[in-house]
Chain A
Amino acid sequence: MALLRVENLSVGYKSKHGLIHAVNNISFSIEKGRSLGFVGESGCGKTTLGMTLMGLLPENASILQGDIFFNDDNLAGFNDEKWRTFRGKEISMIFQAAMNALNPVIRVDEQIAEVIAIHNPQMPRTQVFDQVKKIFDLVEIPEDRLRDFPHQYSGGMKQRAIIAMALACAPKLIIADEPTTALDVIVQDQILKEIKKIQTALNTSLIFISHDIAVVADVCRDICVMYGGQIVEKGNREEVFQSPRHPYTRSLLESFLTLDSNGDIKVPEIRESPDLITITGGCSFAASCKKKCEKCENRNPGWVNLSSTHQALCFEEVIHKD
């Protein structure tokens, strides 16, 4: 049985212009010990999805429909109190801006200890700090830096401390939202290796959210590509990145710079971001799609099966048109 199963989930934000459908009818599941990557550009709904799975949606946002099954619980129906006992223990998050995610006036070990103590109120204090030591060992922060304040850490070390905090209660699922975006390539490389090592060692499940497709390809075995609040293509990383079939995934890869890319890079047209307020019929990518046909604008595309694991949200005739 899947550890996490999301079914027909939609999340909306109230705004003065109307309801913004940030996440629109998405379904996926993740097994124990697997890694699932979500890629997409700003505004595609990937961070909203992560926040929904952590029960951290802001006041003006709500789940419009759908279920989030985690083992036997349905997280979509959780109230604040239930979330408080659940969050950090079963599912935890590695946040984007490590610089801001730590409290500047509390020593780092105290901050990690707090997470453990809250979820294990009976645990003696010495045992809590033993646990903290073990976790710091795991993320390779030397023991003599335990009592430091956050400002004494470098950017990479702060990010390690954030990872330590996420691991504190041995969660079954970790959600990492752009954990390396603010770091330079060398530190990014170290942190990604760290995340992969820990995920394998502890056999936790990982949801990794990023706009950088090369980073996601590096960390995750399974990939979901998001556009306009929907998943438009999913499959394992070889399928999605080596033989992408959705026109959006293709355009993303065509314009992505790597060290091997030569003159074959295509500069995409400047495109309007999709309208998430008035959801009319039709494919959300139709306006920018090079392969669109008449029905793309009027009818909603369905899932086209490309292999037992690889699917694209498109029309058969569009996918096979070359």
Chain B
Amino acid sequence: MTEEQNNQTPIIELNGVTKEYSSKKNFLSKGEASIIALNNISLAIQKKEIFGLVGQSGSGKTTIGRILVKLEEPTKGIIKLNGKPTNNLKGRLLKNYRSKVQMIFQDPYQSLNPHLSIAETIIEPLVVNRIGNTATRREKVIETLEIVGLSPGQEFFHRYPHQLSGGQRQRVAVARAIILDPEFIVADEPTSMMDATIAIQLFQLLLDIRKKFKMTFLFITHNLAAAKYLCDRIAVINNGVIVETGIADKVIKNPQNAYTKKLILAQPGFNFKN
């Protein structure tokens, strides 16, 4: 990252974010056990950056994603969007926040409503935010479909999710995320269910969108090779604590933390010594 970028206000900032979940031991006793999912997380993501969050199941990486799109509120700590604190937003302010921060979920087989056509799925954010009229919305949907590589757009307009492949469904999810022209997108393991060739096509799409629309991404994954390909910087998270942050190539080439080293060693490669 250059000096100049360092001086800019980060688009997203987490300051000392902690998230605890309390779980009642059983429904009769009043005793509560709390699980610390995130412990004092601080992060700053710069504009146009693809920032990778890498860790294994249960490390808290998805919780960070959910907090950023306001599906959860942190127990402690501050989240800033463009330098402004956004904790406990309500009503119109929350709606406004959500139009700026969008999410692409892991499983495109579950994140699309099977009863809605592709057009209805992608148009919904425009309707909710009262943008445009029927004609302009239709135009915008077709345009967005073509941006995400589902062209010609008219052909996909009236289809339903079950008529699409996994890769095409995830492109619909991308279209739904970008149609409001958000500033920041959280992509939570968007390719973990896909074949390698389909995954790399989706990565290319995210890179194209970043370039074209100057969007910023948080990419959540357990796959270091994918993070290295896609991300500018990465943070490695273990048990709710960020253990290492840095430029993706450097962290992977020269990891400092023991857990990062363990993650790198576990990555299957093509060494035929065994």
Chain A residues, CB < 8 A from B262: 186
In the bound complex, CA of A184 to CA of B56 (Å): 6
Output the nearest chain B residue to A156 by Cβ-Cβ distance: B57
Q: Is A41 an interface residue (CB 8 A)?
A: yes
- Does B196 lie within 8 Å of A257, measured CB to CB? yes
Number of chain B residues close to chain A: CB under 8 A? 34
Majority SS at the chain B contact face: helix
Q: Which 3 A-B pairs have the closest CB atoms?
A: A189-B266, A214-B268, A184-B56
A195 proximal to B (CB < 8 A): no
Q: Does B27 contact A (CB under 8 A)?
A: no
Query: Could you list 5 examples of A-B contacts with CB < 8 Å?
Result: A187-B56, A252-B196, A257-B226, A259-B225, A259-B252
Interface pair B197/A185, CB less than 8 Å apart? no
The yes or no answer to B263 lying at the interface (CB within 8 A) is yes
| Mask of B190-233 contacts with A, CB within 8 angstroms, 1/0 | 00000111111101100000000000000000111110110000
Instruction: Check if B149 sits within 8 Å of A270, measured CB to CB.
Output: yes
B7 part of interface (Cβ distance < 8 Å)? no
B264 at the A/B interface (Cβ < 8 Å)? yes
Q: Is A198 an interface residue (CB 8 A)?
A: no
**B272 engages A259 (CB within 8 Å):** no
What residues make up the interface of B, taking CB atoms closer than 8 Å to A?
A: 56-57, 149, 165-167, 195-201, 203-204, 222-226, 228-229, 252, 262-270, 272, 274
Contacts of A212 in B (CB 8 A): 196, 268
Q: Determine whether the beta carbon of B268 is less than 8 Å from that of A257.
A: no
**Chain A residues closer than 8 Å to B264, beta-carbon distance:** 259
B266 touches A252 (CB 8 A): no
B-contacting residues of A (Cβ < 8 Å)? 41-42, 155, 183-189, 192, 196, 211-215, 217-218, 237-238, 241-242, 251-252, 255-261, 265, 267-268, 270, 273
Is A258 in contact with B269, judged by CB distance below 8 angstroms?
yes
Contact A267 B204 (CB under 8 A): yes
A267 to B269 alpha-carbon distance, docked (Å): 19
Picked from A41, A185, A192, A265, the residue with its CB within 8 Å of the CB of B223 is A185
The answer on a CB contact under 8 Å between B56 and A267 is: no
Q: Provided the pairs A185-B223, A259-B267 are in contact, do residues A213 and B196 lie with their beta carbons within 8 angstroms?
A: yes
Among B195, B204, B223: residue with most chain A CB under 10 A: B195
Contact partner of B268 (CB less than 8 A), chosen from A155, A215, A238, A270, is A215
CA separation between A185 and B229, bound complex, in Å? 17
A214-B270 in contact (CB<8A)? yes
Cross-chain contact B56 with A261 (CB below 8 angstroms):
no
**Known pairs A185-B263, A186-B262, A218-B268; A258 contacts B200 (CB<8 A):** no
B195→A267 contact, CB < 8 A: no
Q: Which residues of B are found within 8 Å of A260, using beta-carbon distances?
A: 269
Contact of B266 among A185, A238, A265 (CB under 8 A): A185
Q: Is the CB of B201 within 8 A of A267?
A: yes
With A257-B229, A270-B201 already in contact, the answer to whether A186 and B266 are too (CB < 8 A) is: yes
Contacting B200 at CB < 8 Å: which of A155, A217, A265? Answer: A265
B244 to chain A, nearest CB (A): 15
B residues in contact with A155, CB < 8 Å: 57
Q: How far is the CA of A42 from the CA of B264 in the complex (A)?
A: 27
Q: Which residue of chain B has its CB nearest to the CB of A270?
A: B201
Who on chain A is nearest to B249 by CB?
A262
What chain A residues lie within 8 Å of B252 (beta carbons)? 259
Q: Cβ of B200 and Cβ of A186 under 8 Å apart?
A: no
With known contacts A211-B195, A270-B201, A186–B269 Cβ distance under 8 A: no
Closest to B223 in A: A185
Please, which residues of chain B bring their CB within 8 A of the CB of A238? 272
Contact A187 B57 (CB under 8 A): yes
Q: CA–CA, A140 to B196, complex, Å? A: 31
- Chain A residues contacting B272 (CB-CB under 8 Å) are 217, 237-238
Q: State whether A267 and B200 are in contact (beta carbons under 8 Å apart), knowing that A41-B195, A217-B272, A259-B225 are contacts in the complex.
A: yes
Nearest A residue to B166 via CB reads A42
Q: When the two chains form their complex, are residues B270 and A217 in contact, meaning their CB atoms are under 8 A apart?
A: yes
Given the known A-B contacts A185-B222, A238-B272, A258-B225, are A211 and B267 also in contact in the complex, defined by CB atoms under 8 Å? no
Q: Find out whether the CB atom of A268 lies under 8 angstroms from the CB atom of B269.
A: no
Nearest CB in chain B to that of A196: its residue: B274
Shortest CB distance A232–B (Å): 15
* Complex alpha-carbon distance, A212 and B193, angstroms: 11
Report how far A264 CA is from B272 CA in the complex, Å.
Answer: 21
Alpha-carbon distance between A90 and B174 when the two chains are bound, in angstroms: 47
Residues of A close to B226: CB separation below 8 A: 257
CB pair B268–A186 under 8 Å, yes or no, is no
User: Nearest Cβ in chain A — how far from B106, in angstroms?
Assistant: 11
Complex Cα distance, B149 from A246, in Å, reads 28
